């Protein structure tokens, strides 16, 4: 009897503490998100925008195998949103050198395909280079050498969204048959950025231009004078202090200490500093990197399909989770779905992943903390929109985020209205332009005759919108009498206002606009 009572007490005790820890975890995550948003609000305290403009990149830096473009961080729109924006154009066989940023980054692949690697600190190198594996099979003597082990390599293509935390080193290689174009939002207003509100890129190799590592910003006068002095006295400086002229992290270290740290000779240590390397941030690879799919093809030829089956299982599990979320079955997290070393960084935005689809209007795809959990830590999300000829994206406002919209294809008209009912932007936009929609400002998009496509980065992991028209709109939720008296119209007119649009978010064009 005593044993039974003790057992019951122990079970109750465990259940009680499990519930307590679960609530503590929920409260902690909620407080962390609140702190990150509060950090943004305190830093971006002045968003007095009287008018907006569709912006083009201002700074361009050419490299051996591509170019990098930056939008002006000093523009009031970017200052208000607390973000920086850039675009990489990488030629075939071009490698964007390993680097990391001082703030979280969200990328979108506009064109092409390639492979990408991210090195998470403290995680094991659990992958082997396929080329090394093939050498082991072809040359028996190679068994004595160590294979090339590294962290995971991920393949991506047009339409993918890729997330990267602050301070995580990454690289990108174009192994496709055409130019690779990607755009990236850097959230310098994030709590993860403890420096200042300027975008900074830290390269582990190469000798990129000074402006490239500073996000297009020029160095201040004192730094320019110091650099000029070093240029006039370069030989004396190098002989006495072993300073190099490169712009990567290894350039500033003493070459003798580098040699000691890596257990190499000083000649190789000087090469690591890349002081006379003029190739820029994107270099041409002499030897191609084998993609994960090519490695899987080799394994299939040998009768091994384990990785493919695991990937299928993961995809099926993701589909099941998304179906549960669509039914409102969020479930509880047990901490085992993803770990720091196994976080998923990529999500597709093609038609099969659309959240809203109108066969006559277009589609909207959302990437947020529910379908890409790493975004909960980054406090970023994305929305991909595709509108057909003359279709309309219902007027709405972003409840809890700024929206940074990049036009990926076609053209269209955008209207943005401020709190005082003034249209602070009303113009045609086209491919390659960026427009920022501040939080709570109402926005309407209408496609041109060639269609209209965009990617919108948002400064919240689970950004929400509120629509002005359509089946899930504010108008639909208000009583007819409230609408009639608010606008000074009849009840019949108020009913039409509520009921005439039955579509959700994406509206098909009216007959007049089609003609």
**Each residue of 363-412: pLDDT tens digit?**
999 999 999 999 999 999 999 999 999 999 999 999 999 999 999 999 99
Q: What's the pLDDT at 148?
A: 73
Instruction: Please state, in angstroms and as integers, the Cα–Cα distance from residue 361 to each residue in 405, 427, 509, following that order.
Output: 19, 21, 7
Rounded Cα distance between 393 and 143, Å, is 60
**Strands 180-186, 105-111: pairing kind:** antiparallel
Q: What is the mean pLDDT of residues 14-36?
A: 47
Cα separation values, 156 from 100, 107, 182, 217, 408, Å = 19, 11, 11, 30, 17
SS3 of 513, please? helix
Q: Would the pLDDT of 202 be above 60?
A: yes
Is residue 223's pLDDT more than 60? Answer: no
Per-residue pLDDT at 465 exceeds 60: yes
The CA distance from 489 to 483, in Å, is 8
Q: What does R_g of the chain's alpha carbons equal in angstroms?
A: 27
pLDDT per residue over 100-155, tens digit each?
A: 999 999 999 999 999 999 999 888 777 666 544 444 444 444 444 567 777 888 89
Q: Other CB atoms closer than 10 Å to residue 284's CB: what's the count?
A: 15
Residue 249 near residue 206, CB atoms below 8 Å: no
Cβ pair 422, 416 in contact under 8 A: no
- pLDDT at position 435: 97
**Residue 206 near residue 279, CB atoms below 8 Å:** yes
Q: What does the pLDDT read at residue 375?
A: 96
450 CB-side CA count, 13 A: 10
pLDDT at residue number 444: 97
Residue 194: exposed, middle, or buried by beta-carbon count in 10 A (0-12, 13-18, 19+)?
Answer: exposed
Distance between CA atoms of residues 181 and 143, nearest Å: 40
Give the pLDDT mean for 326-337. 49
- Among 290, 63, 295, 299, which residue's Cα sits nearest to residue 175? 290
Which H or E run contains 7?
A: helix 2-43
Residue 486, burial from CB neighbour count under 10 angstroms (0-12, 13-18, 19+)? exposed
Q: What is the arithmetic mean of pLDDT over 344-351?
A: 91
pLDDT recorded at residue 219: 53
pLDDT at 332: 46
Chain centre distance of CA 336: 24
Q: Label residue 11 exposed, middle or buried (CB < 10 Å: 0-12, 13-18, 19+).
A: exposed
User: Looking at per-residue confidence, does 378 or 47 come out higher?
Assistant: 378
Region 19-23 average pLDDT: 44
Q: What pLDDT shows up at residue 149?
A: 79
Predicted local distance difference test score (pLDDT) of residue 330: 46
Distance of CA 230 to the CA centre of its chain: 38
pLDDT recorded at residue 512: 58
pLDDT at 128: 67
Percentage of the residues of the chain whose pLDDT score is greater than 90: 55
Rounded to 5°, the CA angle 162-99-68 comes to 75
- Contact between 1 and 152 under an 8 Å Cβ cutoff? The reply is no
Q: Using CA atoms, how far apart are residues 336 and 347, in angstroms rounded to an integer? A: 20
pLDDT at 225: 41
Map residue 377 onto helix, strand or coil: helix
Nearest to 83 by CA among 378, 317, 361: 378
Which residue, chain included where needed, has tokens 């400086």? 237
Angstrom distance (rounded) from CA 445 to CA 392:
6
pLDDT value of position 45: 55
The residues pairing with 425 across neighbouring beta strands, listed in sequence order, are: 416
Tell me what the mean pLDDT of segment 470-486 comes to: 94
Q: Are the C-beta atoms of 170 and 99 separated by less than 8 Å?
A: yes
Give the single-character DSSP code of 55. Answer: B
In the numeric block, the tokens 């402006």 are attached to 211
pLDDT (mean) for 476-504: 93
Q: What is the DSSP letter of 141?
A: G
Cα dihedral sign for 296, 300, 304, 307? positive
* Per-residue pLDDT at 167: 93
Question: Can you spell out the DSSP letters for 211-280?
Answer: HHHTTTPPPPHHHHHHHHHHHHTHHHHHHHH------SGGGGS-HHHHHHHHT--HHHHHHHTTTT--S-
pLDDT of residue 23: 46
Report the distance separating Cα 323 and Cα 353, nearest Å.
12
Rounded-to-integer distance, Cα 182 and Cα 250, Å: 27
For residue 146, the 8-state DSSP code is P
Alpha helices in 105-208 (DSSP H): 130-138
Q: What angle do CA 31, 343, 101 make, to 5 degrees?
A: 75
pLDDT category, 196, cuts 50, 70, 90?
A: confident
């Amino acid at each position: 009897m005593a044993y039974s009572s003790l057992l019951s007490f122990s079970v109750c005790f465990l259940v009680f503490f499990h519930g307590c820890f679960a609530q503590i975890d929920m409260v902690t995550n909620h407080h962390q998100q609140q702190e990150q948003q509060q950090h943004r609000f305190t830093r971006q305290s002045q968003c007095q925008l009287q008018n907006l403009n569709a912006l083009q990149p201002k700074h361009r830096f050419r490299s051996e195998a591509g170019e990098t473009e930056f939008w002006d961080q000093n523009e009031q729109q970017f200052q208000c949103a607390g973000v920086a924006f850039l675009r990489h154009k990488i030629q075939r066989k071009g490698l964007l050198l390993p680097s990391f940023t001082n703030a979280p980054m969200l990328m979108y692949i506009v064109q092409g395909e390639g492979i990408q690697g991210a090195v998470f600190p403290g995680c094991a190198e659990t992958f082997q280079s396929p080329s090394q594996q093939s050498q082991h099979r072809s040359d028996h003597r190679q068994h004595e050498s160590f294979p090339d082990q590294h962290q995971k390599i991920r393949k991506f293509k047009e339409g993918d969204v890729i997330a990267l935390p602050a301070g995580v080193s990454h690289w990108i290689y174009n192994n496709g048959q055409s130019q690779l174009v990607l755009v990236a939002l850097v959230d310098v207003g994030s709590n993860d950025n403890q420096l200042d509100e300027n975008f900074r890129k830290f390269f582990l190799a190469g000798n990129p231009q000074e402006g490239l590592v500073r996000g297009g910003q020029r160095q201040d006068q004192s730094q320019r004078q110091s650099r000029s002095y070093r240029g006039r006295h370069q030989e004396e400086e190098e002989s006495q202090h072993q300073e190099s002229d490169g712009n990567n992290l290894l350039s500033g270290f003493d070459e003798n200490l580098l040699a000691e740290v890596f257990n190499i000779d000083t000649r190789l240590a000087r090469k690591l500093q890349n002081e006379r390397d003029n190739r820029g941030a994107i270099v041409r690879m002499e030897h191609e990197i084998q993609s994960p799919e090519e490695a899987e093809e080799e394994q299939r030829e040998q009768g091994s399909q384990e990785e493919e089956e695991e990937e299928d299982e993961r995809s099926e599990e993701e589909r099941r989770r998304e179906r549960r979320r669509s039914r409102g079955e969020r479930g509880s997290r047990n901490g085992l779905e993803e770990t720091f070393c196994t976080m998923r960084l990529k999500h597709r935005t093609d038609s099969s992943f659309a959240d809203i689809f109108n066969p006559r209007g277009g589609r909207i795809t959302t990437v947020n903390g529910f379908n890409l959990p790493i975004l909960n830590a980054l406090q970023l999300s994305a929305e991909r929109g595709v509108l057909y000829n003359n279709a309309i994206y219902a007027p709405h406002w972003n409840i809890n985020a700024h929206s940074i919209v990049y036009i990926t294809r076609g053209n269209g008209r955008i209207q943005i209205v401020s709190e005082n009912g003034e249209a602070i932007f009303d113009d045609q936009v086209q491919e390659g332009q960026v427009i920022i929609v501040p939080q709570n400002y109402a926005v309407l998009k209408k496609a041109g005759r060639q269609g209209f496509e965009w990617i919108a980065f948002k400064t919240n992991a689970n950004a929400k919108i509120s629509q002005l028209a359509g089946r899930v709109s504010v108008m639909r939720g208000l009583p007819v009498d409230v609408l009639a008296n608010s606008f000074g119209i009849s009840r019949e007119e108020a009913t039409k206002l509520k009921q005439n649009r039955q579509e959700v978010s994406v509206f098909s064009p009216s007959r007049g606009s089609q003609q």
